[in-house]
Amino acid sequence: HQSRGEESSRREHQSCEVMADSAAPRPTVLVTGAGGRTGHIVYTKLKERSEQFVARGLVRTEESKQKIGGADDVYIADIRDADRLAPAVQGTDALIILTSGVPKMKPGFDPSKGGRPEFYYEDGMYPEQVDWIGQKNQIDAAKAAGVKHIVLVGSMGGTNPNHPLNSLGNGNILVWKRKAEQYLADSGVPYTIIRPGGLLDKVGGVRELIVGKDDELLQTDTKSIPRADVAEVCVQALQYEEAKFKAFDLASKPEGVGTPTKDFRALFSQITARF
């Protein structure tokens, strides 16, 4: 007959096997724009939660890859080139899109002389190419690869075609972002569209977050939010059914006002708008 030690170790082994079977495999999540300021925070958060997620990043250049640690899970591709996206999205369960056109300030601006700086976009890097075509390419590639959830970070202000951001470099950036948001909402893939207000480089996790719709928050004093909080909402959105097929504006109360948001299911449950 078996000794008691053998018997208990056999039982332990069986229960471990059962646990391994019942534990769902960790979803693989690709963050594009992982070299950007908010994208890098999302990528880092996913890496820190390796018991929950398998992280991947996508950047445009080798330089960006090295800047965020140069790990093998960081892919290099230009989102404007649809054919280059397949390897990065292959086998991913969720996609978080954080790519965006970035206006640059024209040299020679002297703040002491008053006036406003002028902005421009580099050739080939206009919002139409990056925020529209580049995001459409990502959505198409993800859909083709069977990705089950796409989180897209857009921007508040899209309901107003005359928003000042649209005049920067004549790029119409919010117009093209909104076109990509609409394309995602029409894609059939479960989505979460997050439209943050002004992005702050402040500590995350210490503010009460506010959701809204149709740019109503732009009429209030609470229309900005730390990048770290936007990043956290991206990661949390992957975990709740309540976040799917929804679009919302996102801002925060000032630090020290209200109660820091910890219950993300409740936050997502407040949202009813699909676009």
Q: Which residues, listed in sequence order, are joined to residue 250 by a DSSP beta bridge?
A: 196, 211
Those residues with Cβ within 8 angstroms of residue 100's Cβ, 6 or more apart along the chain or in another chain: 33, 36, 130, 131, 173, 177
The residues annotated with a catalytic role in the active site are 155
3-state secondary structure the chain: CCCHHHHHHHHHHHHHHHHHHHCCCCCEEEEECCCCHHHHHHHHHHHHCCCCCEEEEEECCHHHHHHCCCCCCEEECCCCCHHHCHHHHCCCCEEEECCCCCCEECCCCCHHHCCCCCEECCCCCCHHHHHHHHHHHHHHHHHHCCCCEEEEECCCCCCCCCCHHHHHHHCCHHHHHHHHHHHHHCCCCCEEEEEECEEECCCCCCCCEEEECCCHHHHCCCCEEEHHHHHHHHHHHCCCHHHCCEEEEEEECCCCCCCCCCCHHHHHHCCCCCC
Q: Among all chains, which residue has been given the structure tokens 């809204």?
A: 212
